[in-house]
Amino acid sequence: MDLGARVAEVVEASSAEFVAQCYKLNQAPPLGSLVKTRDELWEIYGVVCNIETHSLDPGRRVVARGEEVETEDQLFRANPQLTKLLSTDFKALVVGHRHGDDLHHYLPPGPAPIHGFVYTCQLEEVTAFTQSLDFLGLLVDARLPFSVDEVIAACLRSASKSYPDSEAFLVKAGRELAGLLGGDSQRLNSVLKRLR
C-alpha cells in the first residue's frame, strides 16, 4: 500500500473514533497504522484498531462458493460482482490532531467529517506524530471488543519502522507504557511481549 495514499472514506464518526469504508476490497491500512482525515480546520489522526470485511447489505449473507475452483483469485474472477457486494471497513481510534503547524496528542474539538477522505501517513509524518507518545493514554483507556493491547503493540511496531533506530523508539515507548500501566504489571508485560 502506498504511504500517503487516499484509501477510504469516513462513514461513521464520533469524538473518539471513526469508521472508514475502503475504496478497494481487502485493502485496509494495517492494524495499528496511523491514518488521517481532514476537516476544514484540522487534520485528525487515528490508529487503525479493527478491520472488517462484510456484505454491504446486512440482509445478505456471504456464502461459500469456491468448492469447484482452485484458487480464491479464480473465485473472484468467476464472480466479478462480489467485489461490488462486499466492503472492507476499518475503525480508527482518534489519537490527536493537527491545527496549522501545531500537533496535539488529544481529541480534536469535533469528530471526523462524514465522507472525509482517509489517507495513510508517510513515514516522516509518523515520525513527527510519534515524537510525543502522549497519545498512548488514549489507546490504553480505549474499550474494544478484543484486547486493546493488541492495537497498542501493533501501533508501536508500525511506528518504530519510521525510525532509523527502531529499538530505541520501542524502549522509549516501553517506558511510557510503564508509566501508564505501572499498577498493572501483567498487562504491561503482555504489551511489551508483543513489541518484539
Partner 1 sequence: MSLDLTQLVAQVEDLAASLKTREGERRARLVFALETLQSPAAELNHLARKIETSKATWLVAGLRERIDLRERASPCPENCIVLASDGSHIDVDRHHSARCFLINIGIAQLQYGRSPDACLSTLPLLYFQDGEVAISSPDGREVPIEGQLLGIKRSVEECRLLTERAREVQAALPIVGLLDGSLILWGLAGQTYPDFVIHELLTDGLLKHLDVLTELHRNRQLAVASYVSFPRSTDVVNALRLAICPHQPVDCDHCCDGKSESRECDAVGGLLDRDLFGRLLASGERSAIFISRSSVVKKHYGIHEVNFFYVKLDEEVARVEIPLWVAEEKELVGLVHSVILDQCQRGLGYPVALSEAHEKAVVTGGDREQFWGLVEQTLAESGMWLESSAKQQSKRMRWI
> Does the footprint of partner 1 cover residue 131 (CB under 8 A)?
no
Q: How far is CA 160 from the centre of its chain?
A: 15
Per CB under 8 A, does 196 bind partner 1? no
Are 191 and 181 in contact by the 8 Å Cβ rule? The answer is: yes
Task: Assess contact for 120 and 4: CB atoms under 8 A.
Answer: yes
Shortest CB 25 distance to partner 1, Å: 12
Contacts of 188 (CB under 8 A, 6+ apart): 177, 178, 181, 182
Residue 58 is a binding residue for partner 1 (CB under 8 A)? no
**In the complex with partner 1, which residue's Cβ is closer, 78 or 168?**
78
Q: How far is CA 109 from the centre of its chain?
A: 20
Note whether 78 binds partner 1 by CB under 8 A: yes
For partner 1, the closer CB: 40 or 63: 63
**Does the footprint of partner 1 cover residue 184 (CB under 8 A)?**
no
* Site residues (vs partner 1, CB under 8 A): 57, 60, 63, 65, 76-85
